[in-house]
Amino acid sequence: MKRHRNVKIVATLGPSSSTYEVIRKLVEAGADVFRLNMSHGSHDEIRARHEIIRQIEADLDSPIAILADLQGPKLRVGAFANGSEELEVGQTFRLDLSDEPGDASRVQLPHREIFDALEPGSSLLVNDGKIRLKVRECGGDFADCEVLVGGTISNRKGVNVPDVVLPLAALSEKDKKDLEFVCELGVDWLALSFVQRPADVEEARALAKGRANVLSKIEKPAAVRAFEEILAVSDGIMVARGDLGVEMPVHAVPTIQKRLTRLCRAAAKPVIVATQMLESMIESPMPTRAEVGDVAAAIYEGVDAIMLSAESAAGDFPVEAVQTMDNIAGEVESDPTYTEIIEASRKADSSSVAGAITAAAREIAEKTHVKAICCFSESGTTALMVARERPRVPIVAMTNMEKTARQLCLVWGCNCVVVPQVHRFKMAVVEAVNAAKKLGLATEKDNIVVTAGVPFNTPGSTNILRVAPCEERLIFASEPE
């Protein structure tokens, strides 16, 4: 399906969007990627949604990407004898390993690893940061804290520890089972929660064994500090602003988002901006003006994708939320200022033949009124490099690998097409012309740019570029055997 925009839309599935009819409407409204949240839903429910997406993909004859979002380790306090307690500013409150029900002076924190990592002065945030504690004294099985921000604390509320790198793996035992399940199911992307260090990503990649690309969620201060090292071993990035805004000053999140987006683009790796993008549309058919501005700001930054969470998974208006994102994207990308911003942030890559080829393809397309850039890509690398250029003309990403086509659905500007395997450049040009015509991007009177790697079917070998006419007789007359 050809979109009128370049940024992609990720929609989370859930109770509000679990039937064929609704999911198909989401695709038709603009969803390019579906997120399966492994924090909610049984394996049977996840399998059923996966099957529906693949059925719709077949019915529409267009690739659709599926992203499985792993839960990650969840840090929570224990239970209270009365269900909840009120904490007052300035009081002392203890966290410990005892499984006795909590009261107004203490509660269990069943994570010895946290106590091992804490130091006096460390911060602890409870219930999405609504309660803030500062450690005054701690040991291997307790932490005595001063309450800096009080409020109601209740059973099994989440805990964030922003100041230290916790000796916890990003993959819990549940995550490992979920990872194997969704890889066998055939998802295209894995979103890894609780990333703190590159080793977390490398562990997930080893378990995935190439069956899915690994996308790192940046939601911890440690991940921000080690971002470039994490990016180097990741296939993509999600700026998960929810937990990031809890663990770091909320006013720092926009600048972090902008910096991470530019680093991802420079590395030719896709980046998603997520969390609370159209939060009010969970209950309202219309977004707030601030939300529209937030979505637009991410698009102006050049992100590959913008994501809906509860809006499409559990909200009352899932289709309207996707349509709203689609409308905002169309408006922003038609703004001349958008083009100016995107092109001003472009950085030339002369470090490789493939980088030079894709930069040249973009420049030729823009200066000679070529209608599209068609790139053959076994692994997806060439398409990623073309997308990094953010060309003004459409990108047609062609591959004989169905998995690659689906994975590229997350990437800015890519119109993904599965084609037969080719062994000669002549046939590559023919397939490119056919694809451009089928998508309505070119007619017989137009030219396209074709990039490929010779010999074919060798990942990362892009070394040829041609401006080709879309009139088939000219193709065969001018192309040598």
The set of catalytic residues is 35, 76, 217, 275
Report the distance separating Cα 149 and Cα 131, nearest Å: 5
- Residue owning tokens 């998960």: 240
Contact 248, 256 (CB under 8 A): yes
With CA atoms as reference, report the closest residue to 157 among 237, 228, 95: 95
Per-residue tokens: 352 = 């490789």
DSSP string covering 328-387: HHHHHHTSHHHHHHHHHT-----SSHHHHHHHHHHHHHHHTT---EEEE-SSSHHHHHHH
Instruction: Give Cα 230 distance to the centre of its chain.
Output: 14
Conformation bin of residue 83: beta by default, left when phi > 0, alpha when psi is -120 to 50: left
What sign does the CA torsion over 1, 216, 346, 308 have? positive
Instruction: Give Cα 290 distance to the centre of its chain.
Output: 22
- Residue owning tokens 């909840």: 84
SS3 191: strand
Contact 314, 22 (CB under 8 A): no
Please give the biggest Cα pair distance in the chain: 85
- Residue owning tokens 């002392």: 92
Report the distance separating Cα 147 and Cα 164, nearest Å: 19
